[in-house]
């Protein structure tokens, strides 16, 4: 556990230092940073909706700044019916949406390194890590938080989920800093499984 905590702190330090310029305190930059946060939040929630729909979820509803079951959510995507085996896929859909947001931000940043693109890289590239840390250490009693759903439905421990989230964030950070796509983290899914993979193009 100590190694995981140290690795997580290193990843966070690495990413925060590299993206600090995105948070230059000027009115224009603050607006762009806020817009990037909302963009990633929207991609995350509609990721749930689109992935859920692709695995047979019915009655999908997306809401923002909602209170559900005595918990406040910045974004909340619900559904009325889904095959029990597809529930982890629905929960991971938010991270798949954030991955799409990251890929868009990365290509945009390489063409135009604006404050918006830098902030979107940060929010989308670390989405799973921040969400998992927040859930496991500050919001553990919330059964509807995606990392808690993944833990319950798959049997994966906190350490496994945090390790995957940290590895993904570190590799995303490497792609931003190096300007190369020599190693690409990504998720896969179907109706009965989810997976974390690393692609090495050559």
Lowest mean pLDDT segment, chosen from 9-18, 48-57, 123-132, 180-189:
9-18
Nearest Cα to Cα of residue 41 among 110, 98, 115? 98
pLDDT in tens, 35-47: 999 999 999 999 9
Q: What is the pLDDT of residue 57?
A: 94
Residue with tokens 């390790």: 163
Interval 52-81: pLDDT, tens:
999 999 999 999 988 877 778 889 999 999
Q: What is the DSSP string of 117-178?
A: HHHHHHHHHSHHHHHHHHHHHH-TT-TTSHHHHHHHHH---HHHHHHHHHHHHHHHHHHHHH
Residue 52 CB coordination number (10 Å): 24
Question: What phi, psi does 41 have (nearest 5°)?
Answer: -60, -45
**Count of residues for the chain?**
202
How confident is the model over 129-163, as pLDDT tens digits?
999 999 999 988 889 999 999 999 999 999 999 99
C-alpha distances in Å from residue 120, one per residue of 101, 126, 127, 188, 189: 8, 10, 10, 22, 24
- Please give the helix or strand (H or E) that residue 91 lies within, else none: helix 87-111
Backbone angles phi, psi at 141, to 5 degrees: -80, 0
């Amino acid at each position: 556990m100590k190694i995981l905590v140290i690795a997580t702190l290193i990843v966070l330090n690495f990413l925060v230092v590299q993206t600090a310029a995105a948070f230059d305190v000027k009115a224009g930059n603050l607006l762009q940073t806020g817009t990037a946060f909302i963009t990633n939040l929207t991609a995350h929630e509609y990721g749930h909706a689109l992935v859920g729909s692709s695995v047979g979820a019915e009655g999908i509803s997306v809401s923002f700044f909602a209170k559900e079951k005595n918990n406040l959510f910045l974004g909340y995507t619900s559904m009325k019916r889904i095959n029990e085996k597809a529930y982890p896929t629905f929960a991971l859909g938010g991270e798949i949406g954030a991955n799409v947001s990251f890929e868009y931000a990365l290509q945009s940043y390489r063409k135009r390194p604006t404050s918006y693109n830098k902030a979107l890289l940060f929010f989308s590239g670390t989405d799973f890590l921040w969400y998992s840390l927040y859930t496991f250490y500050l919001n553990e009693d919330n059964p509807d938080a995606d990392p808690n759903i993944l833990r319950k439905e798959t049997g994966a421990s906190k350490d496994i989920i945090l390790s995957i989230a940290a590895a993904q964030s570190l590799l995303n950070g490497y792609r931003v800093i190096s300007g190369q796509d020599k190693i690409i983290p990504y998720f896969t899914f179907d109706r009965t499984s989810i997976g974390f993979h690393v692609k090495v193009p050559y």
